[in-house]
Every structure is written in structure tokens, then in C-alpha cells.
Amino acid sequence: MFIIKYIKEVYRGVKSLLVGMKRTLYYFTHHKEIITQEYPDNRDTLVMAERFKGEVVMPHNEKNEHRCTGCQACELACPNGTIKVIFKNELTPEGKKKKAIDKLVYHLELCTMCNLCVEACPSDAIKMAQTFEHSVYDRNELTKILNNPGSKIMDGVE
């Protein structure tokens, strides 16, 4: 019947509005729920979300060794040419020539933090860091070389 449907609609509408108002009143009275980070003030205690991606880095161990084999998978995966792998030839102790990376050039200014390079890497050589204060006065500082000077590939990583 029309009139019953009408009253039901009014009742349902009012009820759903009241549910919403109850929720916002809860937030209004419970200030501990506030999620605002007062950023420059809380710099020391700032905790970033786990999934936050700030820049690509290459972890080195204490013997200055990294895990990068120079396979170029990251360079191929990158959608906008952010990563360049530059090679050099190394001599192994047996006297053979072996291909190794000279420099892994990373252009932070081009990077969109899409994480595709990290996913493409077969030997887990690169990962995403959580730093986010990237501003510099000279653009050249944004072009980074990820492997440390004089670093070598870790033993056992092929």
C-alpha cells in the first residue's frame, strides 16, 4: 500500500541519517582518533606506513658487496628510463673475463615509485627505501649511482 511504503521510506531515511550522525558525533567527541601527523614537528618520531615507497636503493653488506648481477631486468622493466646499467669487464681469479656492473645509474627525478624494477629483479639487489625529503638545489644531485664505489658482487649470487 502506498501510505505504508511512504512511512517506511521516511523511517528508513531518518534512521540511516541518524546512524551517520552517531558516527560523526563519536569522532567529534573522541579526539584520540585524530589521525593528523603534524609533520615537521614530529620528524623524530615519524613512523611511515610499511607500503610507502620513497626511492630505489641498493643494499650493501658490511664487506661492501651488493647482489646485483647486471642482468638489466630492472632497466627493461622501468617504464620511463629511470635506470641505466653500465658494465665493465672484470677478471676472475681463474683469468676469465666476467661481466659486472660498473655503475647502476638511477634518475630519481624521473622515477614514479611504481616498484616494477624491484619486482623484476631476480636477485633482490634493489629495494624501495622510505625516505621522502628529496628536495635539492641542484638537479644533478637527483641522478644517483646506486652501487657504492669499489663495491663487488656478493659471492654465490649468479
Partner 1 sequence: MWSFSHIANELHEWLSSIFNPTWTLVIEMVLAGVAVIGLFAGLGLVLVLMERRVAAWIQIRLGPNRVGPQGLLQSLADTLKLIVKEGLTPNGADKLLFNIAPFIAMIVAMLLMAPIAFAKDFQLWDMNIGVLYVSAVSSIMVISILMAGWSSNNKYSLMGAMRSGAQIVSYELSAGLSILTIVVLTGSLQISDIIHSQATGWWIFKGHLPVWIAFVTFIIAVTAETNRAPFDLAEAESELTAGFHTEYSGMKFALFFLAEYINVFIVCAIGATLFLGGWMPFHIGNLTDFNHVMDYIPSSIWFFGKTFFLIFLIMWFRWTFPRLRIDQLLNLEWKYLLPISMINLLLATAMAILGWHF
Query: Which 3-state string (H, E, C) describes the chain?
Result: CHHHHHHHHHHHHHHHHHHHHHHHHHHHHCHHHCCCCCHHHHCCCCCCCCCCCCEEECCCCCCCEECCCCCCHHHHHCCCCCEEEEEEEEECCCCCEEEEEEEEEEECCCCCCCCHHHHHCCCCCCEEECCCCCCCCCHHHHEEECCCCCCEECCCCC
Work out how close the CB of 28 gets to partner 1 at its nearest, in angstroms, rounded to a whole number. Answer: 5
Work out how close the CB of 26 gets to partner 1 at its nearest, in angstroms, rounded to a whole number. Answer: 10
* Interactions with partner 1, residue window 91-110 (CB under 8 A): none
Piece of 26-34, 48-56, 137-145, 146-154 that binds partner 1 (CB under 8 A):
26-34
| Residue 38 binds to partner 1 (criterion: CB under 8 A) | yes
Work out how close the CB of 29 gets to partner 1 at its nearest, in angstroms, rounded to a whole number. Answer: 8
Q: Which residues bind partner 1 (CB under 8 A)?
A: 10, 17, 20-21, 23-25, 27-28, 31, 33-36, 38
